[in-house]
Structure 1
Amino acid sequence: MNKIDIRTVNVVQYVQPLREGGSLPAIVKADDGFLYVIKFRGAGQGKKALISEFIGGELARTLGLHVPEIVFMNLDDSFSKTEPDEEIQDLLKFSVGLNLGLHFLTGSITYDPLVSEVDSLTASKVVLLDSIISNIDRTAKNTNLLQWNKELWIIDNGASFYFHHDWKTWENHLTRTFPLIKDHVLLEKATQLEDASKEIIPLFTPERINEIISNIPEDWLINESDAMTSDQIREAYNLFLNTRLSKIDLLIKEAQDAR
């Protein structure tokens, strides 16, 4: 299994906002010459959405699903000063520092459940992954999936791990399953959930999970409103994911019953 190695790049040009995203992500150019979709730390869900995006994306990649390269993106304060749109200006101002970027897939189209094709094993992997990370935002209304080069690509895991918005009650989620899987856009096609779990279990080792979580930037874990330390928060993500994997059979049954 490949070691996780996340590059850090600097934003050199703000190209255009992506208005379809509630948190106003944008296309930017970095100093490596590539275009990225940047997710801003100053957006609505803040740094916690970046953590969800990162963990979910790297778990999907571990599972062999297609995920655009994830990078850390440095944003300096020069961009807000030249931006005429006040809303974007504020977003850029509050996002100075380390943000998250996904390689921009030029020419990709949004996954359409009525038209796009996906094989049942891939659909099953995505459904089970989203059950594990409690991703509430992969529905027919907002698929957060792309078709690119006739392949399915996973984007936008920012609504996962919603327990982390209230650390006081997060342990309650350790005993829960994920009933919202009933709304998953790929559920109907996910007919090989047991086969998917046989691939997930040997890949999602405690060591791999810990490696991903260890790569979360320290700065993203620190919030004035949270009483927990960054080490305690990392341990919480580890415990949550390992607990989910220990009851993967319950998640499979829940998804099968919903289908």
Structure 2
Amino acid sequence: MLTEVIATRYVTPLREGGSLPGIVEADDLGTYVMKFTGAGQGRKSLVAEVLCGRLAQELGLRVPELVRMQLDPVIGLGEPDEEVQELLKASGGLNLGMDFLPGSLGFDPLAYRVDAAEAGRVVWFDALIGNVDRSWRNPNLLVWHGDLWLIDHGASMIWHHNWPTAEAAAARPYDASDHALAPFGPDVAAAAARLAPRVTPELLAACAADVPDEWLVDEPGFTAPGEVRAAYVRLLTQRAASVHERVTLGPPTADGPSRAPGWLTDWKESAR
């Protein structure tokens, strides 16, 4: 189970994120990026953050440490920004914290080179979870102490917003043409060979167990949190086996990024 801490001070909002996450201090003297249940995306984005973040960690990908974070809405009374006040008031109770990486830099393909193996692992993982939010427009990647770190998985597993159509949605291909790491010739097949056998029902169940019950209750079509967890496990298990066969890597969109070192001039060659 994730460690639980108590938020003691709200420091500042991070306005780059659509859900208005904030930097907060906690009673363990740590500093965290806090994601709120009262944000527009609601608790399902936090479910995705926990399940996908924990799975990434178990597969050896770098994701900041996750914690359960208790919030007393009274913290918001002294905030001058009304939007922040309302968000804190709406998010009393259990929220999600991610370890703040001081001095980290946003990923820039012109400044940081990624080898094909690591790029393949990240692209394969994003295909597995259906992550639509790691494009060159918004990489959601940080460089910290020379290493690549993955953040912001709240927009993943979009199929869980409509469970009756989840089976069909989870079976769809994954277009990686605009992925932030597409310029580096990601070796998706090698990543699948290495990682797919590790995505077992047992591993997924352990990751899903870290999602708090209160974020899974009252889910339409389910009678208990355990049933919701089982649905995540079933879909991700099925997807892990063959998703690499449905990853497409075509030309980037017309308004694509500047060419990073290693960008293949013939995109068709990169897809072979």
Give the TM-score of the pair, scaled to structure 2. Answer: 0.87
Superposition deviation, residue 203 in structure 1: 2.1
Query: Counterparts of 1:144-223 in structure 2 under 5 Å?
Result: 144-179=140-175, 181-223=176-218
One-letter amino acid of the structure 2 residue matched with residue 238 of structure 1: V
Gaps of 5+ in 2: 251-267
1:12-45 CA distance string (max 9 Å, x none): 0101000111110000001000100001111111
**Does residue 1:100 correspond to 2:96, yes or no?**
yes
Checking the alignment, whether the CA contact within 8 Å between 1:68 and 1:102 is kept in structure 2 is yes
One-letter amino acid of the structure 2 residue matched with residue 243 of structure 1: Q
- Give the secondary structure class of the aligned counterpart of 2:119: helix
One-letter amino acid of the structure 2 residue matched with residue 171 of structure 1: E
Give RMSD over aligned pairs. 1.7
The match for 1:124 is 120
Checking the alignment, whether the CA contact within 8 Å between 1:128 and 1:193 is kept in structure 2 is yes
**Does residue 1:57 correspond to 2:53, yes or no?**
yes
Superposition deviation, residue 223 in structure 1: 4.4
Q: After the TM superposition, which segments of 4 or more aligned residues of structure 1 sit over 4 Å from their partners?
A: 255-259
1:75 to 67, 71, 77: 71
Partners of 2:102 and 2:159 lie apart in 1 by: 34
Partners of 2:185 and 2:141 lie apart in 1 by: 15
Checking the alignment, whether the CA contact within 8 Å between 1:128 and 1:251 is kept in structure 2 is no
Superposition deviation, residue 121 in structure 1: 1.0
Larger radius of gyration: 2
Checking the alignment, whether the CA contact within 8 Å between 1:63 and 1:199 is kept in structure 2 is no
**Does residue 1:24 correspond to 2:20, yes or no?**
yes
Superposition deviation, residue 250 in structure 1: 1.5
Partners of 2:118 and 2:185 lie apart in 1 by: 8
Checking the alignment, whether the CA contact within 8 Å between 2:170 and 2:235 is kept in structure 1 is yes
One-letter amino acid of the structure 1 residue matched with residue 228 of structure 2: I
Checking the alignment, whether the CA contact within 8 Å between 1:127 and 1:190 is kept in structure 2 is no
One-letter amino acid of the structure 2 residue matched with residue 55 of structure 1: L
Checking the alignment, whether the CA contact within 8 Å between 2:188 and 2:244 is kept in structure 1 is no
C-alpha spacing 1:231/1:18, structure 2 compared with 1 (3 Å): same
Partners of 2:88 and 2:216 lie apart in 1 by: 20
Gaps of 5+ in 1: none
- Give the secondary structure class of the aligned counterpart of 1:56: helix
- Give the secondary structure class of the aligned counterpart of 2:16: coil
Superposition deviation, residue 103 in structure 1: 0.4
Superposition deviation, residue 112 in structure 1: 0.9
Partners of 1:57 and 1:251 lie apart in 2 by: 22
Superposition deviation, residue 48 in structure 1: 0.5
Partners of 2:148 and 2:154 lie apart in 1 by: 18
C-alpha spacing 1:147/1:221, structure 2 compared with 1 (3 Å): same
More helix by share: 1
One-letter amino acid of the structure 2 residue matched with residue 239 of structure 1: R
The match for 1:242 is 237
One-letter amino acid of the structure 1 residue matched with residue 136 of structure 2: A
